[in-house]
Structure 1
Amino acid sequence: MRVVTAAEMRGLDRAAMEDYGIPGLVLMENAGLAVVRVVRELLGGGVAGKKVAVLAGKGNNGGDGLVAARHLFNAGAEVRVWLLARPEEIAGDAAVNLRIWRKMGREVHPVAGREDLEGLRAWLAGADLVVDAIFGTGFKGAAREPAAGVIEAVNAAGRPVVAVDVPSGLEADTGQVLGPCVRASCTVTFALPKVGLVLEPGRSYAGRLHVADISIPAFLLDQGPPGRYLTTREVVRRWLPPRPAWAHKGSCGRVLVVAGSRGMSGAACLAALGAARSGAGLVTLAVPRSVQEAAAAKLTEVMTAGLPETAQGTLAGEALEKIAALLDKADVLALGPGLTTHPETAALVRELLARVQVPCVVDADGLNALQGYPGIWRLLAAPAVITPHEGEMARLLGTASEDVRARRLAVAEEAAAHFKVVVLLKGPATLVSSPSGTTYINTTGNPGMATGGSGDVLTGVIAGLIAQGMDVFLAAAAGAYLHGLAGDLAAAKRGRRGLLAGDIAEMVPAAIRQVEEGGD
């Protein structure tokens, strides 16, 4: 499903009205009816006798709220409309719906000062539900009074809230919250999800997201240049390569994992396990010689290779030729987990990347070795996926982690275009961006996955999917989805707190099965 900015959505609305003759009042009516359907669902089906507060701003978002108010009133609800503007400020289609509401003999209650706000607080205390239609997708910055006080009153009331299009106080293009923001139980967004509803912190403020059809022609929603999309079960199912009846271990892909160091063998083992659990036919783990025995004992189903090492137990420069020989039999390279930043090992990483001829997935210390070497990307002879977290991305770009966090989507897209590699920026709603300008936003995963080794498993999963023949970009997006789903399954089984990376790896096959079979 495509994800759009506020400007892109305005363009779609305009095309529906101007090119296809769909009146704005029809779009607004459909939007309000979609809100009513979710209100009914949240209230258990019946709305008769229920007290509903509709908070309306002066724009089209407020007009959507007025449509919802009318239909809820007609269904028997006790509806009170609170208006955060003077009636004469309401224009266009919203003004039409305000006139209809008044002609029905219904009042609007202005919220302009302290006394009005106290009256709203008192009414909210007995309300069954709140419809938030104050601000729409054009909102930016921080809410000012009286809206700020209204939003705080709604959050303090603790009532179920249905937000119209976006929670008021949320920036639709970024997901940023710079002041008071409604914490919605559900958000009903129209036609397509907005970027800010699927990125944190916006995703947490939106609650359960409903994407409602308001009669914009469906083919319009898919038109346009490469854009942003949600990674869903349906698209991952289409991407996964089939497993034919005649498959054998050699036909299911060969992964070489170059990772680990003395004291950090766990990272290497988890990456290799992730590759094996994702369905790769043969996985070889290449580690420093002193680590090989422990790795072999831990990984029964993975082949191991011991490589020359430094005195500190990290990979030595002379390991390069042995790795090159192993790569002759590999379809993909996973590089980085647990390597450390030892200078000789870091130099090995750079030399290896300049020579590798198969797709590679670079993570952790593999990325740290590239800090300060911007020209390395031009030397890559094969497609690559890099999987930084915010700190690693900041080091690659020479900026601060806070800057990356504030601009996650833009940073991922800019880095992919600049480095000419697939960028997977880890975190809540993991982002996967291609050099061509397409981004997938992940929809799986949970906070329990914030545990050491989780990213190493992800590296292996992506490498395993590439080995099975997937395009590197789709493998990265699918890998993020399956990894997050495995984490969700593991959390459902064990709980989020105390979840281990090994628990996630164990559930990868179950995640793949769920996607392929369409189960819950």
Structure 2
Amino acid sequence: MSATLELTPALLRGMPLPEPEGGDKEGRGRVLVVGGSLEVPGGMLLAGTAALRVGAGKLQMATCRSIAPHLALAVPEARVFGVAETPGGGIAPAAAAALRHPAGQCGAVLIGPGMLEQAEAATLAAALLEVTPGAGFVLDAAAMSGLSRLDEGRRRRHGGRVVITPHAGEMAGLLGMTKEAVEADPLATALSAASMLCAVVALKGATTWIADPDGRAWVNRHGCVGLGTSGSGDTLAGFIAGLLARGAAPAQATAWGVYMHAEAGRRLARAHGPLGFLAREIPGEIPRIMANLGSLEGEDPDRPEQ
């Protein structure tokens, strides 16, 4: 295991994001976001918008057939697929058959925003992970347990191109341990999960720990209390998926996504106060943050804290 690296602007500038090839949106990749339910349709809007805000070229979203037209109007930049839904208002696991082809055509697939039923989400995620390796996957919320349903061989076939974004309670469920045990040693827990699941792990909290299957680790202490708000995790997952679609490596996309999410929270806290800003406001901060982080020129009043 290598030393844990602190996420800072200087560190991120040393691992720059891929530059777009020309001005064509195709050169910035395609994201498919799968999720939503009748009770939480907005998670898809947050995640999809976040993917576009980090520069992904094309956005596709798949959600319950009954809410797809509404989502298409709310996010006019996206192509929206309506798929089979359960009587309870979630995506039916059988929808995986219709989604395998579009998933295979994308640079990144995000599964989980707005999905409430863990068993259904896990079954759907496990089925979509059977697609030909190549796309990067981000598994959020209820979908994360789909990865643990695969045997080691099927997890390894993705070559570490899977990212999961659990908080301490979700991590405890994935590993069969207590939340208190996760919180007692979050770094060791993240490293263990990354090795076992063959995935990049972002263990979210006031301090976020990132680990990859090769034993590398990063820590982000840059967040703020206001980021603990409904929908915030959907935006983070969208940032990571959008960066994967652009061609960033999984650990790189996760590090950039985690840091920019935290910096967006700090900027909103300065503008509005430490509590009360909304998850929907987070993505709008990202283009300027990303531009600042990509610049090595003179001081900028908008540049993130060093």
Same fold, TM-score > 0.5, yes or no: yes
CA distance in 2, matches of 1:340, 1:306: 18
Partner of 1:313: 89
Relative distance call for 1:298 and 1:446 in structure 2 (3 A) is same
1:489 Cα offset (Å): 1.4
State the one-letter code of the partner of 2:282: I
Match of 1:472 in 2: 250
Counterpart residue number, 1:379: 154
Cα drift, residue 376 of structure 1: 4.3
SS of the aligned residue for 2:260 comes to helix
Question: Which residues of structure 2 form unaligned runs of 5+?
Answer: none
The Cα offsets for residues 299-340 of structure 1, whole Å up to 9 and x where unpaired, read as 122221111111122111331121112113211111111122
- Could you tell me which of 394, 399, 404 is aligned with 2:177? 399
Shift of 1:368: 4.2
Residue pairs, 1:292-311, within 5 angstroms? 292-311=68-87
Identity percentage of aligned residues: 35
**Residue type at the aligned position of 2:117:** T
Q: Which residue of 2 aligns with 1:449?
A: 227
Which residue does 2:211 correspond to in 1? 433
8 A Cα contact 2:59 2:79, kept in partner: yes
Q: CA deviation at 1:240?
A: 2.9
More relative contact order, 1 or 2 (CA 8 Å, 6+ apart) = 2
Q: 1:282 aligns with which of 46, 58, 77?
A: 58
Distance 2:235 2:152 in 1: 24
Alignment partners' CA distance in 2, 1:384 and 1:507: 26
What is the alpha-carbon distance in structure 1 between the residues aligned to residue 195 and residue 118 of structure 2? 29
Aligned match of 1:359: 136
Asked if the contact 1:350–1:376 (Cα under 8 Å) also holds between the matched residues in 2, the reply is no
Q: Using the alignment, how far apart are the partners of 2:47 and 2:96 within structure 1?
A: 20
Whole-angstrom distance in 2 between the partners of 1:361 and 1:376:
18
Match of 1:487 in 2: 265
Q: Any idea what the Cα deviations from partners look like across 1:414-444, whole Å, max 9, x if unmatched?
A: 1112222111100122111011111011132
The Cα shift of 1:345 comes to: 4.2
Q: How many residues align?
A: 294
C-alpha spacing 1:376/1:491, structure 2 compared with 1 (3 Å) = farther
For 2:69 and 2:76, locate their aligned partners in 1 and report how far apart those are by CA, in whole Å: 11
The offset of 1:346, in angstroms, is 3.3
* Cα contact 1:341–1:368 (8 A) shared by 2: no
1:141-166 deviation line (CA, Å, top 9, x unaligned): xxxxxxxxxxxxxxxxxxxxxxxxxx
The 3 A distance-change label for structure 1 pair 389 and 344 is: closer
Q: Is the 8 A contact 1:417 1:435 kept in 2?
A: yes
- For the pair shown, the structure with the greater C-alpha radius of gyration is 1
- Contact map agreement 1:269 1:295 (CA 8 A) in 2: yes
How far apart are 1:497 and its partner, in Å?
1.1
Query: Does the residue aligned with 1:484 lie in a helix, a strand or coil?
Result: helix
Alignment of 1:250-289 (within 5 A): 250-289=26-65
Separation (CA, whole Å) in 2 of partners of 1:468 and 1:245? 10
Aligned partners of 1:428, 1:376: CA distance in 2, in Å? 32
Q: CA deviation at 1:396?
A: 0.3
Q: Give the 3 Å change call, closer, same or farther, for CA 226–343 of structure 1 in structure 2.
A: closer
Q: How far is the alpha carbon of 1:349 from its aligned partner? A: 2.1
Q: Is the contact between residue 104 and residue 132 of structure 2 (CA under 8 Å) also seen in structure 1?
A: no
Mapping of 1:228-247 within 5 angstroms? 228-244=4-20, 246-247=22-23
Is the Cα–Cα contact under 8 Å of residues 195 and 214 in structure 2 kept in the other structure? yes
Q: 1:471 to 1:343 in 2, by over 3 A?
A: closer
Task: Give 5+ residue unaligned stretches, structure 1.
Answer: 1-224
For residue 226 of structure 1, report the CA deviation from its aligned partner.
Answer: 2.2
Instruction: Tell me how large the CA RMSD over aligned residues is.
Output: 1.8
Letter of the aligned partner of 1:263 in structure 2? Answer: E
Tell me which amino acid in the other structure corresponds to 2:114: G
1:245 positional shift: 7.2
Partner of 1:497: 275
The separation in 2 between residues aligned to 1:334 and 1:474, in whole angstroms, is: 16
Instruction: Give the aligned partner of residue 192 of structure 2.
Output: 414
The match for 1:423 is 201
CA contact (8 A) 1:227 1:437 kept: no
SS at match of 2:202: strand
1:390 aligned residue: 168
CA distance in 1, matches of 2:150, 2:28: 34
User: CA offsets per residue over residues 253-286 of structure 1, 9 Å max, x none?
Assistant: 1011111111111111111111111110001111
Deviation of 1:483 after TM superposition, in Å, equals: 1.0
| Counterpart contact for 1:239–1:470, Cα < 8 Å | no
Q: Following the alignment from structure 2 to structure 1, what is the Cα–Cα distance between the partners of residues 14 and 5?
A: 15
